[in-house]
Amino acid sequence: MQAGLSDEHNIFRNAVRDLVEREVKPHVLDWERAGEVPRSLFETLGELGFLGVRLPVEHGGSGLDFWYTTILIQEFMRTGSVGVPVAIMAHAEFGTQLIAAAGSDELKAELLPAAIAGTKIAALGVSEPNAGSDVAAIRTRAVRDGADYVINGSKTFITNGTIGDFITTAVRTGGPGSGGVSLLVVPATTKGLARNRLKKIGTHASDTAELYFEDCRVPVRYLLGEENAGFGLIMQGFTAERLVISVIATMQMRMMWEAAREHGHDRQVFGRQLLDFQVWQHRLADAITTIEAAETLTFRAIGSFVRGEPSDQLASMAKLFATESVLDVARECGQMFGGMSHLEECLMARLYRDSLAMTIGAGSSEIMREIIARSVGLVPGMVK
Ligand SMILES: Cc1cc2nc3c(=O)[nH]c(=O)nc-3n(C[C@H](O)[C@H](O)[C@H](O)COP(=O)(O)OP(=O)(O)OC[C@H]3O[C@@H](n4cnc5c(N)ncnc54)[C@H](O)[C@@H]3O)c2cc1C
């Protein structure tokens, strides 16, 4: 699909595909029912070196490029469960990359080897009941007390929130606004931390939770970067997160389209194949055109990121287009399945309901439009 991938990328793809076929696909429906992926999946991925593809070599990672992450997502999407790659990415990309980027050497040596081995699971805790899109408005407070920070507040919608062993957490250490936000790693064993799994309408295999912090003590050495410098780090991390969601969305569309084409051949109505009707040929022609466009934009944004030129503008455009397109493709392809599109046992139905979170997580479509508008000088008073 992507141009310019090396033999090494293709060898990696084959290894991931083999694992997914043998050890993941057979269990996916059980994980969807359980509302989580098992710890053993992380351990298996860790043994094969799949969790540290972009993490530093000195801590056990492979220090590879984002195309490897892309391949990992694409192959895990082949399970038909969006929740599975979401859980893996919340760990390998969202929760741990910020530690690699801003943690002290001591903290990296403490946390990254276990994260890369899959023996400890990570999460990223930014969103709160009163602050999702507006990250600068978070209220969870961390107050310095001797060698510790004492944390009080709450988080919500945290992927891997219940199964996670440590949560890279946004806290308020200073005054109001973006200049008062820090990032602290909170071990799940911290006294005073309570967790509650949320029941979602989609992405069932990924565990999503509310977290409550009551006088939680965390050593000061768990701070990432400088105090009150967390907002910039979170924003920096968002570029890769948006690329992750864009890849998930493009693969969702591919799989929906392939399922619809197969169904269109198999299903007979009024004595004819569905795909005998031009209306369905044209709907699928529109859908594949949309998919190609979304992939082209997504791969362009990834190419820029891999070249060391991360672009908020391109990542936001890719996420906006890919995730809004998923809803269109889901509606068109889903319609072709008739009543089957409402049954949990039907792959199309599961992809359909999993598409709804894509325009929300890692920055909503409205926030993507804000970033794009600013980046092209549409906001009055801004210098282009
Ligand atoms: C499945 C799932 C997994 C998630 N995982 C994580 C996670 O691991 N960690 C984490 O920290 N968070 C996570 N989130 C939370 C996610 O990042 C937030 O839901 C998202 O940022 C939106 O915040 P909100 O829900 O508070 O909505 P709000 O911010 O309250 O927004 C409500 C609506 O208003 C719109 N809106 C907001 N601001 C503007 C504006 N300026 N102009 C116009 N419209 C606007 C939004 O687009 C949205 O449509 C997850 C969410 C989901 C659904």
CA gap 175, 162 in Å, rounded: 30
pLDDT of 23 above 50: yes
Domain annotation covers residue 215 = yes
Helix, strand, coil in percent for the chain, rounding step 5: 55, 15, 30
**What CATH number is associated with residue 307?**
1.20.140.10
For residues 103 and 24, state if they share a domain: yes
Domain annotation covers residue 2 = no
pTM: 0.97
Domain annotation covers residue 347 = yes
CB 149 within 8 A of CB 221: no
Domain annotation covers residue 213 = yes
Q: Tens of pLDDT along 126-178? A: 999 999 999 999 999 999 999 999 999 999 999 999 999 999 999 999 999 99
180 lines ligand 1 (CB under 6 A): no
CA gap 268, 251 in Å, rounded: 27
For residues 246 and 311, state if they share a domain: yes
296 lines ligand 1 (CB under 6 A): no
Q: Tens of pLDDT along 220-252? A: 999 999 999 999 999 999 999 999 999 999 999
> Tokens 């795909």 appear where?
275
**What CATH number is associated with residue 105?**
1.10.540.10
Q: How far is the CA of 44 from the centre of ligand 1 (A)?
A: 32
Catalytic residue among 32, 36, 128, 241: 241
Number of structural domains in the chain: 3
pLDDT of 104 above 80: yes
For residues 113 and 133, state if they share a domain: no
Q: Tens of pLDDT along 26-67? A: 999 999 999 999 999 999 999 999 999 999 999 999 999 999
For residues 222 and 238, state if they share a domain: no
Nearest to 172 by CA among 215, 137, 122: 137
320 lines ligand 1 (CB under 6 A): no
User: What is the structure's pLDDT at 380?
Assistant: 81
Last residue of a domain, one of 228, 262, 294: 228
**Domain carrying residue 285:** 232-375
The minimum-distance atom of ligand 1 relative to the CA of 159 is 8
Last residue of a domain, one of 67, 96, 120: 120
Nearest to 182 by CA among 121, 92, 102, 91: 102
For residues 287 and 300, state if they share a domain: yes
The conformation of residue 128, written as its DSSP 8-state character, comes to B
Last residue of a domain, one of 228, 262, 280: 228
